[in-house]
Structure 1
Amino acid sequence: MATTRPMKHIDREDLYTNLEARVMYLHSFLDFSSRDIEALITGAKYVKALIPAVVNIVYKKLLQYDITARAFTTRSTSFEGPLDEVPDENSPQILHRKMFLRAYLTKLCSDPSKMEFWEYLDKVGMMHVGLGRKHPLHIEYVHLGVCLGFIQDIMTEAILSHPRLHIQRKTALVKALNKVIWIQNDLMAKWHVKERDEFLNESDIEVEKEGYLHGKRIIGDSTESESESGDHPDAPSDHPGGIPAAGVCPFSGMSATGAGVAKEAV
């Protein structure tokens, strides 16, 4: 006779008041384990090689729509008034945001066995609802969720297109990275859904500089973020600055929605 596993108890209030309890629940539900951590750590160099191209592709996409582009001049996607300036990919504010997206994606390649890793992902969610920043930023959830899905799609195709990684390593890395992105998605949604309101005390939220957690610099240092003109040591490119053209998968040499393998990345 088959045995029935005991049902796990999850405290509802803990999900909204205890970040570690929420993360542990997500880990358990998604079967995020030491195997995923190992896949992320051993595959970090392959993910880092993608970052310059991913950043360019993401901002090219964000600037295709007025509702997402307006956030770079109004700091809000809900603003519907006239815009004084429509930014392009070389606008100072876009170059600045690219720098932080590079640093953020590099942070995803760090050690997910540390709670600090998940604390920062939660803070990223908080900062996009106008909290924890000296200059509030308000990005509606629909745009955050679809942007994460877009990043996931680019990275999945690029990793699966790698010419020298064994299929088992590709599969393990894609699965682990997808779990991290979905946990980030939950930690974005957590700050937008109404269920948390009965437990949230906004006066307890600390305002910090971007890239900091508990007063400690988490992203954006010289070891994790490259300048706009710098090269990434692992990044394949035909571009003189070392950054693949927007829309090009650095592992396949094809467009982000194309197929096939045209050149090696490492």
Structure 2
Amino acid sequence: MNPYSRPIKHIQREDLYTNLEVRIQYLHSFLDFSSRDIDALISDSKYIKALIPAVVNIVYKKLLQYDITARAFTTRSTSFEGPLDEIPDENSPQILHRKMFLRAYLNKLCSDPSKMEFWEYLDKVGMMHVGLGRKHPLHIEYVHLGACLGFIQDIMNEAILSHPRLHIQRKIALVKALNKVIWVQNDLMAKWHVKDGAEFEAPDSDIEIEREGYLHGKKILDEDDMKDHTNAEGSPDAEDRPRAQGTCPFSGVSAAGASVRKGVSEEAN
């Protein structure tokens, strides 16, 4: 027997496109997402939660820098090419509303990934961005979704790795676990856009229309997670230390969206 040979796992292609649980299991196996990652996400979730207020502000500042992504907040579609009646800014009602849901979504990433419900919701997020499962359809082309996930990943990675008190091994474990979750979310965004497995698709009429933040009729997003907790704890001694509103507790990134790298370097100095 060849000592270097390994057993080959069989993956049923049709199942990847018809059974979400099988797809998640395959992704977990391929990415080596294990109990170590789950433990890192759960035990150090407070460090991610502390980033959320600043990350939300930075993300929406970025989205409003480009007409093609900003148009989604007035037309509900990034493919729309017609004139815009109104250009939203960071304090527009629709932007404040979207920020609320992004805060809740990022907090959801800090919940228990050992439950299938966690991954079902990430899949629903992907579905809702192609105009399905919502009373008022939202159409966002994949190129913008992938770029936004990469942007969020970059912000969080640098902030976690630059934390002044978190041990390097815990930083590495948390970054690895979070990155794997984001890449699964990236796949669950892409699966609703790409044509792979189209022959196995179920009719759109089979998709349940629900309110945002709900899954199978159950409320998934916590209302408290939607609020802007600018004094969220990011370190053991953070409770009594005042912090400017919307400021990242790790890297000095302001809510106005100053450069992440500039903020990190300034704090380091």
- State, as a whole percentage, how many aligned pairs show the same letter: 77
Aligned to 1:53: 54
Moved more, 22-31 or 252-261: 252-261
Matching residue of 1:250? 249
Which residue does the alignment assign to 2:168? 167
1:205 aligns with 2:207: yes
The answer to which structure, 1 or 2, has the higher relative contact order (CA under 8 A, 6+ apart) is: 2
Q: CA deviation at 1:3?
A: 4.3
Answering whether residue 15 of structure 2 is matched by residue 9 of structure 1, we say no
C-alpha distance after superposition, 1:58-93 (max 9, x if no partner) = 000000000000000000000000000000000000
State how far apart, in whole Å, the 1-side matches of 2:60 and 2:66 are: 11
3-state SS in 2 of match to 1:126 = helix
TM-score (norm 2): 0.91
- Alignment of structure 1 residues 186-197 onto 2, 5 Å: 186-197=187-198
Q: What amino acid maps onto 1:68 in structure 2?
A: T
- Report what 1:126 is aligned to: 127
In the TM superposition, 1:63-212 aligns within 5 A as 63-201=64-202, 202-212=204-214
CA distance in 1 between counterparts of 2:199 and 2:182 reads: 27
Report the alpha carbon displacement of residue 197 of structure 1 after superposing the two structures with TM: 2.3
| 1:214-229 to 2 correspondences below 5 Å | 214-222=216-224, 224-226=225-227, 228=228
Q: Offset at 1:234?
A: 1.6
Aligned residues: 254
- Give the counterpart letter for 1:243 in structure 2: G
Any idea what SS the aligned residue of 1:38 has?
A: helix
The residue type equivalent to 2:34 in the other structure is S
Letter in 2 for 1:148: L
Per-residue deviation at 1:261?
A: 6.7
SS of residue in 2 equivalent to 1:14: helix
Q: When the two structures are superposed, what TM-score results if normalisation uses the length of structure 1?
A: 0.92
Task: Work out the CA distance in 1 between the residues paired with 2:201 and 2:134.
Answer: 17
Q: Distance in 2 between matches of 1:134 and 1:38?
A: 37
Query: Retained in 2: the 8 A contact 1:26–1:183?
Result: yes
Partner of 1:26: 27
- Write the deviation string for residues 235-255 of structure 1: whole angstroms up to 9, x where unpaired: 67742xx322xxxx4302254
Deviations 1:85-121 (A, max 9, x none): 0000000000000000000000000000000000000
Asked if the contact 1:50–1:155 (Cα under 8 Å) also holds between the matched residues in 2, the reply is yes
Give the residue type in structure 2 aligned to 1:82.
Answer: P
Matches within 5 A, 1:231-246: 231-234=230-233, 238-239=243-244, 242-244=245-247
Residue 37 of structure 1 contacts residue 113 of structure 1 at CA under 8 Å; is this kept in 2? yes
Per-residue deviation, residues 27-58 of structure 1 (Å, max 9, x unmatched)? 00000000000000011000000000000000
Secondary structure, aligned partner of 2:87? coil
**How many angstroms apart in 2 are the aligned matches of 1:71 and 1:169?**
38
Deviation of 1:2 (Å)? 1.6
Would the aligned equivalents of 1:77 and 1:138 in 2 still touch at CA under 8 Å? yes
Q: Which runs of 5+ in 1 are unaligned?
A: none
| Aligned residue number for residue 267 of structure 2 | 262
* Structure 2 unaligned spans of 5+: 254-258
Letter in 1 for 2:155: I
**Whole-angstrom CA distance in 1 between matches of 2:158 and 2:5:** 39
Please report how far the alpha carbon of residue 196 of structure 1 lies from its aligned counterpart in structure 2 after TM superposition: 3.4
1:257 is paired with a residue whose SS is: helix
Q: Which deviates the most, 172-181 or 253-262?
A: 253-262
In structure 2, how many angstroms separate the alpha carbons of the residues matched to 1:105 and 1:70? 23
